[in-house]
Amino acid sequence: MLVFSRQAVGAFLAVCLCISGVGLLQYPRLQKLIAIKKNVSLETLEKEINQEKTRLNLLKKTPSFGYDNLIANWVYLNFLQYFGDDEARAKIGYSLSPEYFEVILKRDPRFLQAYLALSNSTSMYAAMPERSIRLMEEGLKSLSPKVPQRAYYVWRYKGIDELLFLGNSQASEQSFTEAASWASKYIDEESKKIAYLSYKTAKFLHKNPNSKYAQISTWTMVLNNQVDEKNRQRAIREIEALGGEVIKNDDGTIRIKLPEKD
């Protein structure tokens, strides 16, 4: 028992050293990214991003010694810092978003919160829905209806991206069908509602693969995902472009008025 304990401690120290080693290299650079000012040249930003990408590639190969979740959580925090640097992102974009999630979801494919951030950052901001969907497909191989709890949301995020960004109604229909199937394994009200809505969406897509109503409904799902203000405004614009109307109720909630014709 004592030998096992020493091995466990040794492994833990090893992975911490690996993370710390990469972190010591990464942290100063990351802080520079956060502190970027408007007068920093595009060339300097590109250099910083290339260095960050190199470090993320190193993390993909770093041994975990059984502490994959620790690495995934740490990289996710780094992603939040990267994503939140609005000045730098406005200049050079969000191209590193999927690189962060390759590390995160490889280490912890059951990290449910990461899938929503993946969809928002990679499909909507980085304009790489194919990459986002591939990462979800890979992650889903390690999920089951109840592992993690409410894993059905991953199928919904995938279905949303397939319909809105790829226009692939057939793939989206299949994803919403899976979401309905997985959600039906639960007995709580939230899951029952998701199962019903997912089933209805899949059925509607089957009958009307090119439906504006289906696209409006899916953009409404984006609004209901509590996205940031930029994505919220985009969803509203997309709904209006499809002929829908976003109406704000007195209590702060919204309702969608569909166009007269689909």
Question: What's residue 63's pLDDT?
Answer: 85
Q: Which has more pLDDT, 198 or 86?
A: 198
pLDDT band (50, 70, 90) for residue 39: low
Tell me the average pLDDT across 17-36: 49
pTM: 0.76
- For residues 152 and 194, is the Cβ–Cβ distance under 8 A? yes
pLDDT tens, position by position, 97-146: 999 999 999 999 999 999 999 998 999 888 899 999 999 999 999 999 99
pLDDT tens, position by position, 201-244: 999 999 988 888 888 888 888 887 666 787 788 889 989 998 99
pLDDT tens, position by position, 164-195: 888 899 999 999 999 999 999 999 999 999 99
Q: Which has more pLDDT, 261 or 188?
A: 188
pLDDT beyond 60 at 19: no
Tell me the average pLDDT across 247-253: 84
pLDDT band (50, 70, 90) for residue 36: very low
Question: What's residue 107's pLDDT?
Answer: 95
Q: Which has more pLDDT, 87 or 146?
A: 146
